Structure 1
Amino acid sequence: MMGPSFAAAGCGPIGWFIGLLLVGFLIYLLLKNKKGPDQPNRSDSSEAMEQLKMRLAKGEIGVEEYQKMKETLLK
C-alpha cells in the first residue's frame, strides 16, 4: 500500500522534483551532444582545410583544383 512510508522514502513531491530534474538533465545532455547531418564537425573541417592548403603549397594540386576542393569543403 502507498501510505505515509512511501512518501517518506523519497517518492513524495521532493522525490518527483529531483527525478524530473535528472530526466531533464539527461535529455539536455543527449540533445547537446547530438550532431545532425547538416552540422559538420568544425574541427574536422578546419583540419581538412589545413591539409588542402599544405597540398597547394607543396605543389601537389593546382589552384583550380584547390578552389574546387575548397568550395566542396565549405558547403
Structure 2
Amino acid sequence: MGMGYGGHMMYGGWFMWIIIIAIIVLVIYLLARQRRPDLSEKASPETAMDILKKRFARGEIAKEEFDNMKKNLE
C-alpha cells in the first residue's frame, strides 16, 4: 500500500497540474491580447476632403483650385 493513498492521488496531482498550466496559458493570452492594438477601432479611411486638405497644405494646389474642388465635393 505504500503511503496509504492507494495510487489514486497520482491522478489528482496530474489534474491539478493541468489546471495550473491552463491558468498560466490563459493569463499569458490575456496579457498578449491587452498589449495588441484593438483592430476593431481602426482609423477610418481618408475621405476625399481629407486628401484635398493635405494637397492644399503641401502646396500642390492653389487656393482657387482648392475652393473649386471643395465646392464639388460638398
For Structure 1 versus Structure 2, the TM-score category normalised by the shorter chain is 0.3 to 0.5
Larger radius of gyration, structure 1 or 2?
A: 2
The answer to which structure has the higher helix fraction is: 1
- Name the TM-score, length of structure 1 as normaliser: 0.42
